[in-house]
Amino acid sequence: MNGLAVQVRTRSKVLDYRFVGTTPPPDRWWDKNYRGWTDFSRPTILVEPGRFFVSGIGSARTDSKGARIHYALHARVEPEGRALAAQMLAWLCEVRQRTGSLDEVGACLDKLGDDAWSAAVGGEHGQADGIDAAVMDLLRDIPRQPETGDALESFLCAVDDPAAFAKLGAMAAAVVALEPGRLERAVYLNLAPSSELVPLLQQQKSAIVCREIDTLPKSSRPLLAGVAFVLLGLIVAAALLLKIPSHGAGTDSAGSMPVQRR
Amino acid sequence: MSDNEYKIALIGPTRVGKTSLVSSILAEAQTALAGTPASLKAKGSTFARITDNVNELAGALARGTFEPETIKNSTSDVSIYELALEVGRSKLPIRILDYPGGWLSEQGPEWDECAEWIRQSSVLILPVDAVLAMQCATVAEEKACRVRLQIAAVTEITREWAKGRKLANTPGTLILVPVKCESYLVAPGATRASAEKLQRRLVDELYEDMFAAIGAETNGPDLVSAYYAPVNTIGCVDLVDAGWEMAADRNLESHPVFRVLPPGKRKVDGALDVLILLARRLASAENAQDRSSLSHLWRYLTGESRDLRAAIGRLNEMKLSQRAQPVRMREPA
């Protein structure tokens, strides 16, 4: 597998979404970590150390109701697969930045044909075995992307930022090369505005492309309130300290008497 | 904050229009709670999902003909609609589970989480595609209707839910909600007879066994109540053609096409009934809650209980429309 184990989730005309191929489906880490912030049926890019999940990859295939089918790609990345994973992620981000969707990626996967996908979803003997290898063959032929370096650069930006996905691709390449278990991430979440993403922002080295930058993250408000409270306390304390010596020294107290006490 | 959150499950096949139903409930809640300090809001990212749905619907209606397939992709993961009934700083979270409709029958590895949620839900909402139910002229279409509505799977799921309610001695409400039913209820040509036919078709024919199963599991209507409450999630459309076509599984599939009625603006109707039924369940659940005395004191001091209960009470006291009817659960003949 060249250090990169890719699994595809899709559906057939009749059978609903499932991972195809012979490898057992991955545990749903994307669902546990990001549900509520993104609609997985629309373009979503989630990269964590040693793994990534990209969903909402539009296909030209349709289900029995005539609705567009989509793909999701899941990958586990070993050290020897990091270069290819970085290339794939850079390509995915470039496509999303240039076209506003991941349909170009879907068109690539569609090359295997509706029948092959339907058979794989149905678990038909022979098709399920070959689909993983066929997908890897397709992904090895993706357009070569320029090297992005591997600097871990935290950022938060909106999806309409012209540089959003270029920055995300660079960070994704760096994050996926880290040892699994670390907390860095590079993610595109299509529903959540910035104010909803406090739990992610609190973690180290997060690169986040979100729906919009709306307000100051909520966690900052208590922090600012706390800072304001401490400052106020310091001012009051300073004022009290200044008052005490003036009484004790027996100086002209009439001049320092508060107006309201008169 | 309220101590509780209320879980609701949608039991509907793929692409029946679950997001449109949730957005319809929110829209009618705005009207029902206008002039009061209370409001029902979509929270967090649910707001974005609902906004996308409303915009997509508006865009589709602007074309003059409406094909439901043009709205959004099909669901591939579990998702939760996060709503909250709010009065000032007081909130009563209401969470609605959604998942790929195919899982109803296929019940793969991800189903366990959904099953647990359904078991805990005090309200089950069953959206039903009215076109599938009503446009069956041939044996093949009649069969396809039952297959596409996944009636056998839905019956088993609701039976298990009712069994769980009975075991826990916890009340629940099941609401059968036909959608895409404008042509039988409000469009030109719709009559009282067509509305009654829709109700009979769903309650007395297609879902008769389901209601009977619930009745059998709960020994009568005291613990679990069931309602029929049709909702026009779009309002300004009229069916042109059910569009039956043979699908890959050798069953027919409907690809309905609707014409858009002037002025082409969405006019939700009937979702208030669903909201009232939710409020009735919430009201009884809130009254039955056993809270700690500290929690009681906090809620008394802040006025949270009063405000929230007043909001729920207002909805609770509203009358259901004539279309919404309780369903008597009886053993099939």
| Cross-chain CB nearest to A41 (options B45, B76, B80) | B76
Q: How many helices (H) and strands (E) does chain A have?
A: 9, 8
Instruction: Give the residue on A whose Cα is nearest the Cα of B80.
Output: A36
- What's the confidence (pLDDT) of residue A262? 32
Query: Which residues 84-113 of B have a C-beta within 8 angstroms of A?
Result: 100-103, 106, 108-110
pLDDT digits (tens, 9 = 90+) for B205-247: 999 999 999 999 998 667 899 999 999 999 999 999 999 999 8
User: Three-state SS for B281?
Assistant: helix
pLDDT digits (tens, 9 = 90+) for B108-120: 778 888 999 999 9
In which order are the strands placed within the sheet that holds A4-10? Answer: A18-19, A4-10, A68-77, A51-62, A44-48, A185-188, A206-210, A155-158
Alpha helices in B62-191 (DSSP H): 103-106, 111-120, 130-134, 139-148, 151-168, 182-185
* Rounded distance between C-alpha atoms, residue B119 and residue B162, angstroms: 9
Identify the helix (H) or strand (E) that includes residue B253: strand B252-254
User: Which residues in chain A are contacts of B103 at CB distance < 8 A?
Assistant: 16
Instruction: Give the residue on A whose Cα is nearest the Cα of B107.
Output: A16
* Rounded distance between C-alpha atoms, residue A172 and residue A209, angstroms: 12
User: Which residues in chain B are contacts of A196 at CB distance < 8 A?
Assistant: 44-45
Check CB contact under 8 Å for A70 and B248.
Answer: no
Place of tokens 């094909």: B67
**Length of chain A, please?**
262
Q: Are B259 and B238 in contact (CB under 8 A)?
A: yes
User: Which residues in chain A are contacts of B108 at CB distance < 8 A?
Assistant: 18
| Residue B308 to chain A, least CA–CA distance (Å) | 24
**What is the b/e burial string over A46-56, where b = at least 16 CB atoms within 10 angstroms of the residue's CB?**
bbbbbbbbbbb
**What is the b/e burial string over B72-105, where b = at least 16 CB atoms within 10 angstroms of the residue's CB?**
bbbbbbbbbbbbbbbbeebbbbbbbbbbbbbbbb
* Rounded distance between C-alpha atoms, residue A28 and residue A25, angstroms: 9
For the record, the structure tokens of A225 come out as 């309130």
- What's the confidence (pLDDT) of residue A217? 52
The closest alpha carbon to A64, from B106, B60, B254, belongs to: B254
The interface predicted TM-score (ipTM) is 0.79
Between B5 and B8, the more confident residue is B8
Query: Which amino acid, one-letter code, is at A259?
Result: V
Least confident among A5-9, B76-80, B131-135, B296-300: B296-300
* Dihedral sign from CA coordinates of B44, B46, B49, B55: negative
pLDDT digit string (tens) for chain A, length 262 residues = 578 999 999 999 888 899 998 888 889 999 999 998 999 999 999 999 999 999 999 999 998 888 899 999 999 999 999 999 999 999 999 999 999 999 999 999 999 999 999 999 988 756 666 888 888 888 888 888 777 666 777 899 999 999 999 999 999 999 999 999 888 999 999 999 998 888 888 777 899 999 999 865 554 455 555 666 777 788 888 887 777 654 444 433 333 333 343 3
| Cross-chain CB nearest to A67 (options B15, B44, B109) | B15
Between B85 and A146, the more confident residue is B85
pTM attached to this predicted model? 0.83
| Residue B215 to chain A, least CA–CA distance (Å) | 31
- What's the confidence (pLDDT) of residue A157? 94
* Phi and psi, residue B325, nearest 5°: -135, 145
Say if B28 is an interface residue toward chain A (CB within 8 Å): no
